[in-house]
């Protein structure tokens, strides 16, 4: 039974939020990473276990025929961990579990950003196809107009041929864009993680609501909450706990033992003995003469120092990542704003005017073709600006570990 809202039809409209939710639910790579948390949880359970007691039993029988007494014995021993070994062991496993959880969260943060960029590429590719299809229709109309005018003797054959060439070239360019759009849609299927899934149909025009980010706020929040920084912090804490565990391992554990031995009566005429029982007890401690765990402790100490430097490096990379993407988004927003004014309307008016003038003979074919190319280039540049602004927003929110990205539906 499919979960409510899951993607199950080729004709379904795939909004951005629905796509991201489906990636979180069904992506195979993310599912693989989540097993690391389950493994770390199992390791934490194992770390809480104390040494088991040991039971031993035995007996002796006289096989020499000297009528010596037979004995039966049983003993129980228990090792007691000294130096807080269990505490440090549990602490290491706990930090490893937290680090695994943060690592999975960071994997999803990166995956979500990549999936969002793929969605933007798919939408932008379809917008480019639509724009180039309009250009093809316009050039085909121009070629048909020139065919009629050439037939009537109004224009030279070279103008008719030039219009046909430009129309055919535009059709080839459209086919190339359609291939790119199809490839972009297939990339979405990979993120969705379901073999045989029909091509989805993303619905958006990459318009976003205005955002006003404050760089100091983003930096402060990211250093505290960004999952790769959190994971590095837990790994450092785990290394410190491992150093404490190694230091505790240098203290030998004590093993206490107690036993009971039953002796039967001996019937040897030279050395008879009655029935009697013996109760024994004691303890044992290994002497750390040849193994003092000094090498293990030094290795753990160096690992802790290494993890501290790694944490500093991750924090610095996070800061630089945020600064870079903050500037990228600012510039992308400025660029996209230039195409949200009158530029597209002006470009269309210029093209319409050139076409009208060409039909009356007051403009050349070259004037029309230049205007057509300029109009197409402006509209493609507008799509590219919208796409870059959307990607820059995704990259900034991914870097700052915030996520409220959404695109308006066309």
Residue spans of the domains in the chain: they are 13-49+84-251+294-400, 53-80+253-286
The neighbour count for residue 267, using CB atoms within 10 Å, is 13
Segment holding 104, helix H or strand E? helix 85-151
β-pairing, 201-202 vs 71-80, is: unpaired
Measured between alpha carbons, how far is 221 from 351 in angstroms, rounded to an integer? 50
Q: Give the pair of three-digit tokens for residue 86.
A: 């269990």
SS3 97: helix
SS3 42: helix
Architecture of the domain delimited by 13-49+84-251+294-400:
Up-down Bundle (1.20)
Q: Can you say how many angstroms the Cα of residue 162 is from the centroid of all Cα atoms in its chain? A: 51
β-pairing, 254-263 vs 71-80, is: antiparallel
pLDDT at 410: 60
- C-alpha distances in Å from residue 393, one per residue of 14, 84, 144, 399, 409: 20, 49, 44, 10, 17
pLDDT at 215: 94
Phi, psi torsion values for 14, nearest 5 degrees: -100, 100
SS3 55: strand
3-state helix, strand, coil in the chain (%, to 5): 65, 10, 25
- Residue position matching structure tokens 């939408």: 123
SS3 27: coil
- Residue position matching structure tokens 């085909």: 140
Measured between alpha carbons, how far is 238 from 246 in angstroms, rounded to an integer? 12
Q: Give the pair of three-digit tokens for residue 210.
A: 């205005």
Q: Tell me, what DSSP letter sits at residue 275?
A: -
Give me the residues of the chain with pLDDT under 70, please: 1-12, 270, 292, 409-410
Spatial contact of 226 and 318, defined as CB atoms under 8 Å apart: yes
Phi, psi torsion values for 276, nearest 5 degrees: -160, 160
Measured between alpha carbons, how far is 22 from 109 in angstroms, rounded to an integer? 14
- C-alpha distances in Å from residue 396, one per residue of 54, 216, 322, 389: 59, 13, 6, 10
Measured between alpha carbons, how far is 366 from 383 in angstroms, rounded to an integer? 26
Measured between alpha carbons, how far is 328 from 232 in angstroms, rounded to an integer? 26
Phi, psi torsion values for 170, nearest 5 degrees: -65, -35
pLDDT at 11: 42
- 224-229's contacts with Cβ under 8 Å and 24+ in sequence apart are 225/401, 226/106, 226/109, 226/318, 226/399, 226/400, 226/401, 227/102, 227/103, 227/105, 227/106, 227/109, 227/401, 228/102, 228/103, 228/106, 228/109, 228/314, 228/318, 229/311, 229/314, 229/315, 229/318
Q: Give the pair of three-digit tokens for residue 105.
A: 């969260």
Spatial contact of 339 and 382, defined as CB atoms under 8 Å apart: yes
Q: What is the 3-state secondary structure of 214-245?
A: CHHHHHHHHHHHCHHHHHHHHHHHHHHHHHHH
Q: Rounded to the nearest 5 degrees, what angle is found at the Cα of 336, between the Cα atoms of 117 and 366?
A: 105
Whole-structure pTM value? 0.83
């Amino acid at each position: 039974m499919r979960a409510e809202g899951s993607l199950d039809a080729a004709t379904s409209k795939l909004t951005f939020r629905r796509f991201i939710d489906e990636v979180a639910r069904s992506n195979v790579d993310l599912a693989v990473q989540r097993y690391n948390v389950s493994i770390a949880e199992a390791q934490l359970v194992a770390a809480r276990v104390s040494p088991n007691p040991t039971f031993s039993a035995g007996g002796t029988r006289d096989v020499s025929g000297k009528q010596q007494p037979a004995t039966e014995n049983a003993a129980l021993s228990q090792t007691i961990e000294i130096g807080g070994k269990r505490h440090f062991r549990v602490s290491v496993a706990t930090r490893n579990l937290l680090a695994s959880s943060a690592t999975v969260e960071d994997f999803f943060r990166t995956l979500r950003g990549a999936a969002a960029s793929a969605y933007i590429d798919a939408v932008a590719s379809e917008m480019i196809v639509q724009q180039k299809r309009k250009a093809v229709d316009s050039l085909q109309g121009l070629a048909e107009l020139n065919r009629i005018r050439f037939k009537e003797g109004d224009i030279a054959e070279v103008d008719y041929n030039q219009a046909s060439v430009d129309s055919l070239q535009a059709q080839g360019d459209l086919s190339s864009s359609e291939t790119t759009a199809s490839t972009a849609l297939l990339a979405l299927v990979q993120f969705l993680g379901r073999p045989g899934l029909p091509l989805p149909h993303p619905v958006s025009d990459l318009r976003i609501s205005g955002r006003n980010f404050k760089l100091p706020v983003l930096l402060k929040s990211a250093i505290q909450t960004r999952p790769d920084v959190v994971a590095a912090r837990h790994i450092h804490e785990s290394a410190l706990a491992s150093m404490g565990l190694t230091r505790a391992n240098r203290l030998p554990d004590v093993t206490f033992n107690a036993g009971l031995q039953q002796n039967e009566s001996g019937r040897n005429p030279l050395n008879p003995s009655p029935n009697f029982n013996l109760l024994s007890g004691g303890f044992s401690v290994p002497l750390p003469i040849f193994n003092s765990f000094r090498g293990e402790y030094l290795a753990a100490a160096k690992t802790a120092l290494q993890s501290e430097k790694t944490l500093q490096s991750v924090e610095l990379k996070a800061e630089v990542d945020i600064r870079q993407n903050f500037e990228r988004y600012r510039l992308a927003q400025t660029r996209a704003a230039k195409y949200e004014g009158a530029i597209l309307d002006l470009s269309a008016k210029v093209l319409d005017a050139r076409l009208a003038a060409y039909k009356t003979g007051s403009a050349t074919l070259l004037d029309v073709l230049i205007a057509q190319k300029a109009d197409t280039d402006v509209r493609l540049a507008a799509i590219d600006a919208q796409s870059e602004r959307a990607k820059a927003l995704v990259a900034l929110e991914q870097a700052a570990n915030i996520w409220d990205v959404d695109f308006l539906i066309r």
